Amino acid sequence: MAIAQARQRAWSARWSYVYLAPMMVLLVGFIVYPIVASLGYTLYRWNGIGDPSEFVGLGNFRQITHDSIFWHAVEHTFVFAAFVVPIQLVLALALALVLNNRKLRFASFYRTLYFLPVVTSAAVMGVVIQLLISNFGDKINSILLTLHVIDHHVDWLAQPHFAFAIIIAVGIWHTFGYNLVYFLAGLQTIPEDLYEAARMDGAGRRAQFWHITIPMLRGVGVVILILAIIGTFQIFDIVQIITGGGPYFATEVVNTYIYHLAFGGANATAVQPDVGLASAASFFYGLLLIAFSAIQVVVLRSLVRRRSQGVVAA
């Protein structure tokens, strides 16, 4: 009886399954399968050609966890996220509030303008920035020296802090438009009545922002926050193009670290790329991210629980 009901339910939702199928095929083919397949490779020393034959057991994982460059890359990735996410979200929210003003003329034009970097390839942006810095490094230096912003010539991509700051700035610029659009969508779901009622009660703009806008944006805000964090953990192309992870690993992030293990660096000396080791690094980083996400979920749930307990108590 139950089976028959389940069958009937499935049949009645058949079109849903049909529509889901193409995405599922792609997901299994390009996400699930590579993850499962790479798990096997983690146990081999393998240059990516032919079949892996040199079994090293958990040796690759041992090597990764003992590699200080890997841990520096993890640190750089988290520092990148720690700078990009809050700066980007605050800027995106501020600009979304401005663009949400119905009295603002040419609002659509501005939205398009701020969204443009998102549709531009990160690699192209990286190349342009790299060329700007390398070709006009002298001029940038002379302007800043004249203005007394710096007191000596700076080789921008040779100094770890400057190189990393440039990558952070490009990272913020590149995906800023996404968060702007998300916040705009969130702002447009807030009923105007709430603001009208608040104004009638004598609330000023600041009070309206803190007591209406922010609470009403909390739901979409959490989603934007999570997406922004996930996005920053995937940083690769900007770093690879602008600095290649250098100088001396100062801007190496986990994804460039994995790439360099799997395909070698720019300096292709006659050493074998190690896809097995790269797979182990990739898998281990995945585990780290899962652990981080779990902590994130626990913290968010606890915040929500605390807040709902506060509301009930009030």
Partner 1 sequence: MTDINRRTFLRAAAVGGAATFGGTLVGCGSSGGSASGKTTVTYWDSYVSQAGWVDNEIKLFQKANPKITIKKTTQVSDKYDNLLSLAFRSSNAPDIFMLPKTPTLPTQVTNGWLDPLNTWATKDWQSGFPAGSFTEGIDVFNGKVYTAPFSGAGPSLQLYVHNGIFKQAGLTNSDGSVKLPQTWDDIGKFASIVRSKTKADGLGFGNADNVILEWWADILVRGAGSPGGMASAGVDSADYRVGRWTYDTDRNYADAVNLILQWKKKGYFYPNSMSISDEQARAFFEQGKFGMTIGGVWNQPEWTSHKFTDYSLVTLPSPSGTPQALYYGPPGGSFVAINAKSKVADAAWKWFDWLYGDAAGKRWVADGQGLSAHPDANDPSKVTFKPFAAYVGMSKYAVVGPQPTIKNPDAAKVTLGTVKPDHNDVLAGLYTGQLGNVHSALSELAGRRNKSLDDGIKAAKAQGAKVSRDDFTFADWDILKPYTTKPNS
Instruction: Please report how close the Cβ of residue 54 comes to partner 1 at its closest, in angstroms.
Output: 6
Question: ∠ CA(214), CA(220), CA(182), 5° rounding?
Answer: 100
Nearest Cα neighbor of 241 from 157, 308, 309 is: 157
Based on the shown chain and the rule CB under 8 A, indicate whether residue 277 belongs to the binding site for partner 1.
Answer: yes
- Residue range at the interface with partner 1 (CB under 8 A); choices 2-10, 36-44, 186-194, 269-277: 269-277
Instruction: Please report how close the Cβ of residue 53 comes to partner 1 at its closest, in angstroms.
Output: 8
Based on the shown chain and the rule CB under 8 A, indicate whether residue 294 belongs to the binding site for partner 1.
Answer: no
Binding mask 108-137 for partner 1 (x = CB under 8 A): ----------------------x--xxx-x
Residues with Cβ < 8 Å from 71, sequence gap 6 or more?
none
Instruction: Please report how close the Cβ of residue 280 comes to partner 1 at its closest, in angstroms.
Output: 13
Residues 158-187 that bind partner 1 (CB under 8 A): 158-160
Helices 275-313 + 254-263 axis angle, to 10: 160
Instruction: Please report how close the Cβ of residue 29 comes to partner 1 at its closest, in angstroms.
Output: 16
Residues 42-81 that bind partner 1 (CB under 8 A): 45, 47-50, 54, 67, 69
Out of 108, 121, 142, 272, the residue judged to bind partner 1 by CB under 8 A:
272
Distance CA 239, CA 80 (A): 11
Tokens of 68: 């200080």
Return the SS3 of 310: helix
Tokens of 165: 């700051």
Q: Which C-beta is closer to partner 1: that of 96 or that of 261?
A: 261
Based on the shown chain and the rule CB under 8 A, indicate whether residue 282 belongs to the binding site for partner 1.
Answer: no
Contacts 24+ apart (CB under 8 A), 219-224: 219/186, 220/182, 220/183, 220/185, 220/186, 220/189, 221/186, 222/300, 223/182, 224/89, 224/92, 224/179, 224/182, 224/183, 224/186
| DSSP code of residue 55 | E
Q: Which C-beta is closer to partner 1: that of 96 or that of 157?
A: 157
Based on the shown chain and the rule CB under 8 A, indicate whether residue 156 belongs to the binding site for partner 1.
Answer: yes
Total of residues contacting partner 1 (CB under 8 A): 43
- Structure-token match 């600095």, residue found: 243
Distance CA 213, CA 1 (A): 51
Based on the shown chain and the rule CB under 8 A, indicate whether residue 200 belongs to the binding site for partner 1.
Answer: no
Out of 38, 100, 120, 141, the residue judged to bind partner 1 by CB under 8 A:
141
Where on the chain is the footprint of partner 1 (CB under 8 A)? 45, 47-50, 54, 67, 69, 130, 133-135, 137-138, 141, 153, 155-160, 244, 246-250, 260-261, 263-274, 277
